[in-house]
Structure 1
């Protein structure tokens, strides 16, 4: 094993180690939207809520699911998408995957059905790390770093996301995907 922690870039996935011990991130997969020397901003891809976008934004009519993006500022709304052709001011995360953009255009596109859950995900809150904090967690092997693509993000079922990422990585990670939630039950 390499003694240096893996490097992180925009578009990477941070996969929680099976026994991370942090209930906010148990079996979570975080998409890194922005990473710099100042810190890291990400969104949890696999923590679905029981509320919908229309429950928090009155002007939205379709019932698109809401995810918990992380434990920070859960009174904020964030979104990723793969339709920059519909949404101005989108920030490219990686090829085919974008973060944020003009929210009025988002609302209009959702309401007329040109933007669906196949092309967008909405999150309350986010995951954030201050300068050096993520590097420290990586050196403690709290996270596994992986690459991804937009199709995997949007086409993988939420309940299979954590395992799916690990299986896709292959090798030792494929076996980690089968670790039980409670090792005493093994």
Structure 2
């Protein structure tokens, strides 16, 4: 898979040194000629959603670092369109939706934290930027499945993405961050 379309996951090359994206997996929600955007799936933020939003005070659901762009915005992915609506990105993974309905569903315990992921900020690329990064081999591409996006342990997302690609990519899981230290 090497086509840039919504629903793919960008898997950071093991040697990508950018601290925002080192050993990360980014789920692409939109890709157009003007640019692309998505969310880093495997970088937990240091606060729970209840500490960021007054109307969810006490809610300990995790928040993830979605990327370095607009860190003052909160986004969510989910697989509960029956409650929240949203835009289907791929295979039952939805971006956004009715935020008030989400807050109500959380309070009424109609939804759980395995069905929703919150992201502070997002990852964005301007026209041609992501294509250039792919040519530089900064990223590998795989399918952004529900199993990948909603994986319970965020530390397992990058290795899982490589393993799901199979073959030679599975070996990349064991590459050191800095091969010069070997």
Instruction: Tell me the TM-score normalized by structure 1.
Output: 0.93
Query: Are the counterparts in 1 of residues 162 and 169 from structure 2 also a CA contact under 8 Å?
Result: yes
Give 4+ residue runs of structure 1 displaced > 4 Å after superposition: none
Query: Are the counterparts in 1 of residues 25 and 42 from structure 2 also a CA contact under 8 Å?
Result: yes
Total equivalences in the alignment: 181
- RMSD of aligned Cα (Å): 1.3
Equivalent residue, structure 2, for 1:41: 37
Q: 2:77 aligns with which of 60, 80, 96?
A: 80
Query: Are the counterparts in 2 of residues 15 and 145 from structure 1 also a CA contact under 8 Å?
Result: yes
Equivalent residue, structure 2, for 1:122: 118
Instruction: Tell me the TM-score normalized by structure 2.
Output: 0.95
CA shift, 1:152, in A, is 2.8
CA shift, 1:96, in A, is 1.2
Equivalent residue, structure 2, for 1:183: 179
Greater CA drift, 121-130 or 57-66: 57-66
Cα distance in 2 for partners of 1:87, 1:59 equals 17
Matched, 1:109 2:105: yes
Q: 1:53 aligns with which of 41, 49, 52?
A: 49
Q: 2:68 aligns with which of 56, 66, 71?
A: 71
List runs of 5+ in structure 1 lacking aligned partners: none
Cα distance in 2 for partners of 1:151, 1:85 equals 19
Query: Are the counterparts in 2 of residues 156 and 164 from structure 1 also a CA contact under 8 Å?
Result: no
CA shift, 1:116, in A, is 1.5
What is the DSSP-based 3-state SS (H/G/I as helix, E as strand, rest coil) of the residue aligned with 1:77?
Answer: strand
CA shift, 1:151, in A, is 2.6
List runs of 5+ in structure 2 lacking aligned partners: none
Matched, 1:62 2:34: no
